[in-house]
Amino acid sequence: MRPNGRHTAGVSQLSALRVWAVGLLLLSAVAISPTTARAAPSQAQVATTHVYLLRGVLNIFSLGLDTIGARLQAQGIPVTVANFVSWSSLADEAATAYKAGRLKTIVLVGHSSGATALPDMIAKLNRLGVPVKLAIGLDSVFKTKLSTGAERYINIYIGDGPGEPVKRADGFRGKLDNVDVRGTGVGHISIDKNEAIQRRVIAEIDAAIMRSRAPAAVPIAEPGAPRQARSAAATAPARN
C-alpha cells in the first residue's frame, strides 16, 4: 500500500515539533542553571553583618534609606535605620557586638548630613578597635575628610549641587571612590530614592559581604580625581 501523503506530512510536522520542544527545554535548563545565577551572600555571612543607615536633617528627607533597608532585610541582612545624630551611640552598639563576636562585617550608609557623619563614625569605630568593611555616602553636604580607614569608602555626590567630594586626610588608609553624578537628573533630595543608585548601593553591600570571608585588609589609597558617573547610572526626576 502506498503511504498517504497527508499522513507522511503530519508525521514530519510532529517530529519537527518534538525537536523544537526538546530544544526549548534545553535552553530553559541553561537559563535557570545555578552556574548562571548571580552569587548572593550566604546565610552565615549575612548573620554576622549589620548595615547602619543614617538619615539626614529632620529625619524626613532620606526615606530612600528606608527602602534600601527593606530590600536588604528581604535578603536576610540585619539593618538599623536612624537619624545621623545617633551615629556615636550606634558606633558603641556596633563595637559591643563586634567584640562579642556577633558581628564580623560592618557597613555604613548615609545621606546628606548622614553622609557627613560617616567619617566621624568610622573614626570612633577605629578607635574602639573595630574595622569598617564598607561606607557609602550619598551627597554629603559639607566638606568631609577621612582621617582613618574603612576598607572601602564610596562617596556618590552631585558635583554642581550641595554635595562635596570626600578628601583624604593625612594617615588615611583604605580605598576611596568619589563618584560625581552631575547631569544625570539626580537631585540632593532624590539621590537616595533613585532606583539605579539604590541598586548600586545594594550591589556594593552584597559584594562587601561576599568579600567578608577573606582576611581583612585595608589597601593604601591611590590618589586620583573624582570620577564622572555614566549618564545612564541614574534616572531620577529633576533636582528638587
User: Among 74, 164, 160, which residue's Cα sits nearest to residue 112?
Assistant: 164
As to burial, measured by CB atoms within 10 angstroms (0-12 exposed, 13-18 middle, 19+ buried), residue 57 is middle
For domain 42-233, is the CATH number 3.40.50.1820? yes
User: pLDDT tens per residue, the chain (240 residues)?
Assistant: 555 555 545 545 545 445 444 343 333 333 323 333 356 778 888 889 999 999 999 888 999 999 999 999 999 999 999 999 999 999 999 999 999 999 999 999 999 999 999 999 999 999 999 999 999 999 998 878 887 778 999 999 999 988 888 888 877 778 999 999 999 999 999 999 999 999 999 999 999 999 876 444 444 344 444 444 443 344 343 333
What does 176-212 look like in DSSP terms, one character per residue?
A: EEEEE-TTSS--TTTTTT-HHHHHHHHHHHHHHHHGG
Strand 166-168 with 174-180, pairing: unpaired
Q: How far apart are CA 129 and CA 98, in angstroms?
A: 9
Domain ranges across the chain: 5-34, 42-233
The pTM for the full model equals: 0.72
For residue 175, what is its C-alpha cell? 580605598
Residue 110 to residues 82, 91, 231, Cα–Cα distance (Å): 10, 14, 23
The pLDDT of residue 114 is: 96
Q: How far apart are CA 129 and CA 113, in angstroms?
A: 25
Contact criterion met (CB below 8 Å) for 65 and 35: no
